[in-house]
Amino acid sequence: MTSAVKLGLVSVMLAAVFVMALMLGEHTVNLASVMHLLIQHDAQDFVVWNHRFPRSMIALVTGAAMGVSGALVQGIIRNPLASPDILGVTQGAGLALSIALLIFPSTSPALLPLVAGIGGFCGAALLMAYNIDEFSPVRFALTGIAISVTFSGITEFLLLTHPTEVNTALLSLTGSLWARGWQQLWPVISLLPMLCASMLLAKPLDLMALGDQSAASLGVRMKCLRWGALGLAVLMVSVSVSIVGPITFVGLVSPHIARRIMGGRHLQLLPVAAMVGAVILLASDMLGRSLMPPSEIPAGVLTAIVGAPYFLWLLHKAK
């Protein structure tokens, strides 16, 4: 099967899951009605146009950003067990959001992406500061895990010590698309140029896979590449976390599935990782609101249920 056919099949799967996300939920809407409501742009339609469509678009773009971020991080440190949520970036963004929502509850929602970005960059800065002298993929990953655990512990402490504001914070930190709509869709658009920019790193990342010395001899500026790719991944994850909360394992699992479909070349890997990440988040959100209506299971819970066994399987294979 050629790469073009594989890419076409993944695209069809993404389109199918997106349409199903518009149809399924507490109330099932048939395909003809979905198309009619989308064409009408009816402001009084609170099921498809004002609820499921913007929510699905948010899941589509943020899932793609998480998938690409995972592929970039794995390419930088050449470790298949790496992802932004394992290296402390996601937890750093989550901790910054917790501080803003719990200690400064009057923080404007418009500032939350900036706050999450600062938190994510602080996590990445700690990671790089500890590894700046000598870069080792294993040391890099272990440092990230230690930072992740520390940030998660501080976040839980803040939640326990601020019981009156905890509901507001949990709404942002559970990793869910509940109550996300048109208002949250516009900040998501900022992720699109970042996704396009990540494609510019495809060739240098392929050369980096040959080894640091070989890549440097072919003209790759290693430090610039590492900082540039890591900064882009941190920015995408931070914006995503500020909108849907810290959803784990999408950044870890998506590049692996994409690599099995398309191989290791980043020019093909990055777009397919984006599509796989979008499929995972769309499907998790759709299942979360369809399994136990009218209650919703957060998408982050479902991705963790699937992602944790997959991570253990990766560890088993890595032995």
Q: How high is the pLDDT of residue 155?
A: 86
CA-CA distance, 182 to 180, in Å (whole number)? 7
CA-CA distance, 141 to 213, in Å (whole number)? 21
CA-CA distance, 22 to 209, in Å (whole number)? 40
Q: How high is the pLDDT of residue 247?
A: 83
Q: How high is the pLDDT of residue 297?
A: 83
Q: How high is the pLDDT of residue 245?
A: 80
Q: Which among 249, 270, 306, 239 has a CA at the least distance from the CA of 62?
A: 239
Q: What is the pLDDT along the chain (319 residues), one digit of tens a residue?
A: 787 888 889 999 999 999 999 998 878 888 888 888 888 777 667 778 888 899 999 999 999 999 999 999 888 877 777 777 777 777 888 888 888 888 887 777 777 777 877 887 888 788 777 777 666 667 777 788 888 888 888 888 888 887 776 776 776 677 778 777 787 787 788 889 999 999 988 888 888 888 877 888 877 788 788 888 888 888 888 888 878 888 878 888 888 889 888 888 888 899 999 999 999 999 988 988 888 777 788 888 888 887 777 777 766 765 5
Task: Spell 111-149 as b/e; 16+ CB within 10 A means b.
Answer: ebbbbbbebbbbbbebbbeebeeeeebeebbebbeebbe
Q: What is the pTM of this model?
A: 0.84
User: What backbone torsions phi and psi does residue 291 show, to the nearest 5 degrees?
Assistant: -75, -40
Neighbours of 182 (CB within 10 A): 14
CA atoms within 13 A of residue 24's CA, in its CB half-sphere: 18
Q: Which among 248, 144, 162, 237 has a CA at the least distance from the CA of 198?
A: 237
Q: Which among 122, 11, 6 has a CA at the least distance from the CA of 64?
A: 11
Residue tagged 């599935």 (tokens):
257
CA atoms within 13 A of residue 266's CA, in its CB half-sphere: 24
Q: How high is the pLDDT of residue 273?
A: 92
SS3 content of the chain, % helix, strand, coil (to 5): 75, 0, 25
Q: How high is the pLDDT of residue 272?
A: 93
Distance of CA 258 to CAs 58, 68, 203, 319, Å? 21, 10, 17, 22
